[in-house]
Structure 1
Amino acid sequence: MKKTEQQKMANLRFVCKERSSFYRTVTKRVNDYFKDNNISKYGNGTMYLKSLLFIGGTVLLYSLIISEIFSPWVMFGLALILGCFKAFIGFNVCHDAIHGSYSPNKVVNKMFGLVFNAIGANDYVWKITHNLVHHTYTNIPGHDEDIDVAPGLVRLSPAEEWKKHMKYQHFYAFPLYGLASLSWVFRKDFKKFFQKNIGQVENTTHEPIEYFNLFFFKAFYYTVFIVVPILVMDITVWQFLFGFIFMHVAEGLVLGLVFQLAHVVEGTDFPEPSPESGNIEEDWAVHQMQTTANFARKSHIANFLCGGLNFQVEHHLFPNICHVHYREISDIVKATAHEFNLPYHENETFGKALVSHYNTLKLFGHNQYKRKEVAATVA
């Protein structure tokens, strides 16, 4: 029998009731915004336009490459853009659908969630690793596996064991991010699906349909993006590999950078459970404010391309609200955070967020750098 999410949750709890009034207040104010303006929390015309643009653009780019009407170098350029468009589908369409915030219709959410599978990932595994684990245990070492992107190679939290080569990680981490998409397509989903635990959450019971979907859609992706190009196109194996690998490198860089700029930047915290109680001595919503950061909040380009992932503060507090509304509610969240004397981490531009992530990588690359030292540096 399939377990409920509550049954699958680990024992770690957030136990500071004294500060829970922040979440009640900000939730009421955000709900009042939608009610007063008679606006749905779900997707609107902008959301549908973005879906058409990114899904349609991906199909068009793939078709142009397969047609071979351009020179090899032009097709290589199209492959790079195709990789970016696949990432944009994930950000702008599938992310909301899998959270259930794309549409009030569950069938519509499921349909667009399955698009995630068609571009090489797996919606079911993502629900567990992202919706359940990451959104609950954000930046908590040993629980949030999003800060374990390359264990032993890149140190993304002060609690991770330091190794000598990590003093150079601010240089080599970025090329490694480029491999994230290849790992996702060929390794990550299989590994996560069959892991006994994800973080500290039990992961042993899956419905039969999820086994089918995992293998069927992986086979579909391999057929469309590997078998068909090799059979149809008049190119050598090395030319195919060159285009295929760099398509994924482009996708991986876009995915890696956007996600890392939300949690692994200067100012965000990496709290560990209390050794006495085994809990986080903080309210869950306050914990989200301490561990999450926005970037380029006022940029129309970033807002359009990133699918609200540059509004991670709002997204972590309200994952059930479609990302097209985050810009409007961000002022409410920021004002309420300041009213309750809570942090509202943000970098004004993508460039500043990138520098902040670089600085954090460099900082965590220091020998035996601990969490208390991070807090002292930020203070």
Structure 2
Amino acid sequence: MTISSEATVTNGPAAVRPSRSRPDAGSDFARLSQRITEAGLLRRRPGYYTVRLGLVIGLLAGGWTAFVALGDTWWQLAVAAFLALIFGQVALVAHDLAHRQVFRKRRASAIWGRLFGNLGIGMSYGWWMNKHTRHHANPNHEELDPDVAPDILVWSTEQARNSSGLARFIGGHQAFLFFPLLTLEGFNLHVASARALSSPSMKNRLLEGTLLFLHIAAYLSALFLVLSPGKAVAFLAVHQCLFGVYLGCTFAPNHKGMPTFTGEDRPDFLRRQVLTSRNVRGGRFTDLMLGGLNYQIEHHLFPSMPTPHLRRAQVVVRAYCTEIGVPYHETRILQSYREALTHLHRVGEPIRRQRKAS
């Protein structure tokens, strides 16, 4: 896949103008892929995922066991915070399952993905798969990537100029509202999952809906049977809000504030993935908390690569990008949030300017 034009990529930490297509531009990824394959980094890791899935299931079961054992007490808010963290880890496992990092076969991936997603945390595996597949195909493309659609936040100055409704109301001060808005992300995942059941394009709607209903029924029954109404509502609020914040903080560093594309801007596959992604530096704790998504560049280039191989792949990919002259962006976690928030504030300027003028 080659660059169709000298399209300007804007709205990143530094504006990038990809070079005009070269005769060998389409083979850049093929050469990188060969190096990755020869290093054995695409091989499955059944042992790793057996341990990881077992630990996540055990911690989830342990959290709900502690919930029942504690009974009607305000100490349950600590359990709510713990389960918010574990729900986030379940979501990260569902992400790996969706990318077939765990199982080679689609059927096995879908079965376990629905168990972890729909039944485990109340998030539709089918809805998320559809949305995430479109994101991976065209990351940060304003018309093609659903993750940068101007529904609540605006991601470019052009979106800000054309914004309306809630996006326009929030857009001028969205950088300050970003983290508070993340407290609603957990609720949004449940609502979006339920709404997706009415879409004709959703596959296995009956199964998806049944598992979602079982999760919601079991979740609310547990809360209101074990806790008094006030404590149940408090538990729900703390749990879902912290779950949303954790998920948002996991995904926000990946692309927010990186270059965006519009219209016919389509660099080749390697540049499309690398230029729009940001890596987050850190040690094993960062790998654990972000589920390997801190290696976002490598993940986008090789979505089916098992998580434990991403750290080794980074060395290969970064050196290769330097070799062929493709910018490779990585930073610390706090700097990634700073870049994302700075970008959100900057692109909201047209809304603030229009308000001052009116």
- TM-score class, shorter-chain normalisation, is 0.7 to 0.9
1:176 corresponds, among 174, 177, 181, to 181
The secondary structure found in structure 2 opposite 1:73 is coil
Q: Is the 8 A contact 1:303 1:310 kept in 2?
A: yes
Q: Say yes or no: does 1:216 pair with 2:201.
A: no
For 1:308, the aligned partner's letter is G
Alignment identity in percent?
19
Q: Separation in 2 of the partners of 1:126 and 1:40?
A: 24
1:306 corresponds, among 290, 293, 296, to 290
The secondary structure found in structure 1 opposite 2:158 is coil
For 1:303, the aligned partner's letter is D
Q: Separation in 2 of the partners of 1:14 and 1:102?
A: 33
Instruction: Count the aligned residue pairs.
Output: 327
- Unpaired runs of 5+ in structure 1? 1-12, 196-203, 274-278, 370-379
1:50-100 Cα deviation digits (max 9, x unpaired):
22222211111012112225x733210111110111111111x21111111
1:167 corresponds, among 169, 172, 194, to 172
Q: Is the 8 A contact 2:266 2:272 kept in 1?
A: no
Q: Separation in 1 of the partners of 2:85 and 2:262?
A: 35
For 2:146, the equivalent position in structure 1 comes to 145
For 2:239, the aligned partner's letter is M
- Unpaired runs of 5+ in structure 2? 6-20, 162-167, 353-358
Task: Output the TM-score relative to the length of structure 1.
Answer: 0.80
For 2:35, the aligned partner's letter is R
Task: State the 1:289 CA deviation.
Answer: 1.0
Sort the Cα spacing of 1:157 and 1:260 in 2 relative to 1 into closer, same or farther, 3 A: farther
Task: State the 1:194 CA deviation.
Answer: 3.9
Q: Separation in 2 of the partners of 1:245 and 1:183?
A: 13
Q: Separation in 2 of the partners of 1:47 and 1:245?
A: 31
Sort the Cα spacing of 1:65 and 1:351 in 2 relative to 1 into closer, same or farther, 3 A: same
Task: Output the TM-score relative to the length of structure 2.
Answer: 0.84
For 2:18, the equivalent position in structure 1 comes to none
For 1:260, the equivalent position in structure 2 comes to 252
1:66 corresponds, among 68, 71, 75, to 68
Task: State the 1:251 CA deviation.
Answer: 0.8
1:323-375 Cα deviation digits (max 9, x unpaired):
1110001110111111111111111x222212222222222221269xxxxxx
Task: State the 1:179 CA deviation.
Answer: 0.6
> Pairwise mapping of residues 232-243 of structure 1 onto structure 2 (< 5 A)?
233=226, 235-243=227-235
Q: Separation in 2 of the partners of 1:281 and 1:211?
A: 34
Q: Is the 8 A contact 2:171 2:351 kept in 1?
A: no
The secondary structure found in structure 2 opposite 1:20 is helix
Task: State the 1:165 CA deviation.
Answer: 4.3
For 1:97, the equivalent position in structure 2 comes to 97
> Pairwise mapping of residues 267-346 of structure 1 onto structure 2 (< 5 A)?
268-273=258-263, 279-296=264-281, 298-346=282-330
The secondary structure found in structure 1 opposite 2:279 is strand
Q: Is the 8 A contact 2:118 2:124 kept in 1?
A: yes
**Aligned-residue CA RMSD (Å):** 2.3
Q: Is the 8 A contact 1:47 1:324 kept in 2?
A: no
Task: State the 1:243 CA deviation.
Answer: 0.6
